Chain A
């Protein structure tokens, strides 16, 4: 079960690989629900589609609700072992789709929600979203964003859903293990996947995996899962609890044109943000 080649993704875009890895686990009986996003374009027009599973395209704010309806409908028909997967970007998840995401999470709908986070509205040409990081250039934050990223996985976890995880395309087995786990659980499952974007982040398209890896190694993107309220670091992030093992954030941002204008002070702010986040993580592990 593979996402087909010859799709309309930009060079270096990890989305086809991420969908590939997802479908490999969830299998043939998967319905993808895709709101307005880069994936809408990647999926192509009415003349054909690169997906080997059914895709329901959705208005921007509607995908968690549409997925709820599909899931209810398949359940009422006695269908078994299916996965209804929302595949949405950060804007569709954290901004315009946030109310319906929260609604579906609160109702504990039987769906898997994957947010592929490229940290801006990339489909319309790199505008800031609530998930754009501090300091990042976008066309609507020409001198760099002044606010920090909305902590979405934690917000979703606060809804007491059975499964929340973060993932990175650079750690594909970790990601696939999380999808596997999500597939086995009933109820609302949420995976937040950092998805680097060459044109939006202003880096060479050969560096996607390298950058996805550095995001984890610098600790700016911790890999974890929260299963029935229990927080656990996964993969390489387990050792990064030790501050000395983490690379400085500078090694992550230096490849990206969107951070090119960051002052030394801004870089320190970003580093402090990462360090504070890890202090919080320590607290979560102790629980």
Chain B
């Protein structure tokens, strides 16, 4: 396929996602304002108001209703979208699980943000990772370009007949939502053929169905088993979609993970989200100093790319997992995932907890803690306070 360049725009993350949503042409949107997602909601309202996006936009009274109403729209055959953050995602949680269980094709953008209390409007990943058991595909963007690209891919993955699962696109609150970056967009017609209109509808007046009735225990576990299989199948679909996207955009799109400077790396740094950019800078600096370090970026958190992560971890002298979220009484969430899946490997895995509630983490600090690992001076878990 031929690569077609679209417009190059300067966009803040929220507007980049809104732009992608406009191009994806959802028929129904429902959004409730919450910091730092609000400017996306405003931009979408503007698109609908001007007729640039021909969609029904339901200005709901809560996040719970936002997810509920797009669920109704999704089962009746519409392409749908919503976005939220932090407390809003928590308030939405009952419906997050509901639509996951029904495997409704829905795309939601999550401007990741710390959870109260105490109040914090700043970024971390606690809200996002708390939805890991809700039967949603979860992807994390590294930068604004990624947020744009991932949003388009999310619609295609979600609606793929082999998958039919809701998809959450996480991008760091303020760090990406409010930062303006250069964004290469796709032309509208290219998006049209990348994500053609949805063909899927459970509301059929000629063949009436009951959507989401009571399931007896044997049926319930069967539903869950099939959802598990769909999650596993989605791994290949995510990779396929990334490849197709790469072919049309000319941008390197990675599937479930991306490995940077990994080939000869003795030590690996593992992370997801916007601070992957800072870790990249730290890796470059350390490479200049002759240190054999590499970066493993987790692009898809659910389904967790266990096979890939294990393959990459094998034979390394150490791996350091960066966590912006913590499971209290246990450990960093990404750290737990990595360790659990790497069971049986010899690679020592360390966990650093940092950046909670938006606390800044600089490449210097990333370098310092990596050096501690290389020198064998790092404990299993360290908090950067």
Contacts and interface: CB of A to CB of B under 8 A. Distances in A.
Contact of A70 (B72, B98, B215): B72
A160 B55 CA distance: 26
B68 to A, nearest CB: 4
Interface string A77-112: 100001000000000000000011011001100000
A74 B214 CA distance: 25
B44 to A, nearest CB: 15
Q: Please tell me the size bucket of the interface on A.
A: 35 or more
A53 B69 contact: no
Contact of B203 (A40, A61, A74): A74
A29 B61 CA distance: 28
Chain B contact residues, majority secondary structure: mixed
Given A66-B71, A70-B72, A73-B28, A103 B98 contact: no
A28 B72 CA distance: 19
Contacts of B2: none
Interface-central residue, A33, A43, A49, A103, by most chain B CB under 10 Å: A103
B231 to A, nearest CB: 21
Interface string B194-213: 00000000111100111111
Contact of A65 (B27, B56, B64): B64
B76 interface: yes
Nearest to B78: A73
A60 B258 CA distance: 41
A157 interface: no
Contact of B95 (A40, A59, A106): A59
Contact of B68 (A55, A76, A100): A100
Contact of A49 (B59, B205, B210): B210
B213 A62 contact: no
A264 B70 CA distance: 52
* Residue of B70, B72, B77, B214 with most partner-chain A CB within 10 A: B72
A76 B78 contact: yes
B210 A72 contact: no
Given A40-B214, A45-B214, A72-B73, A51 B58 contact: no
A77 B55 CA distance: 10
A194 interface: no
B30 interface: yes
A85 to B, nearest CB: 13
Nearest to A76: B27
Interface in B175-229: 202-205, 208-216, 219
A185 B78 CA distance: 24
A52 B207 CA distance: 9
A69 B205 CA distance: 17
A189 interface: no
A276 B28 CA distance: 46
A59 B214 CA distance: 12
A45 B58 CA distance: 31
Contacts of A57: 210-213
B94 interface: yes
Contacts of A74: 76, 203
B208 A54 contact: yes
B72 A73 contact: yes
A106 B60 CA distance: 10
A44 interface: yes
Nearest to A50: B210
A107 B27 CA distance: 18
A231 to B, nearest CB: 27
Interface string B68-108: 11111111111010000000000000110010000000000
A73 B62 contact: no
Contact of A73 (B77, B205, B209, B214): B77
Interface of A: 28-29, 31, 33, 40-41, 43-47, 49, 51-59, 61-77, 82, 99-100, 102-103, 106-107
Interface of B: 27-28, 30, 55-56, 58-62, 64-66, 68-78, 80, 94-95, 98, 202-205, 208-216, 219
Given A46-B219, A55-B208, A103-B65, 20 more contacts: A40-B214, A43-B214, A49-B209, A49-B213, A54-B210, A56-B72, A56-B75, A59-B94, A62-B68, A65-B30, A65-B58, A65-B65, A69-B73, A71-B72, A72-B27, A72-B56, A72-B69, A73-B74, A100-B62, A107-B59
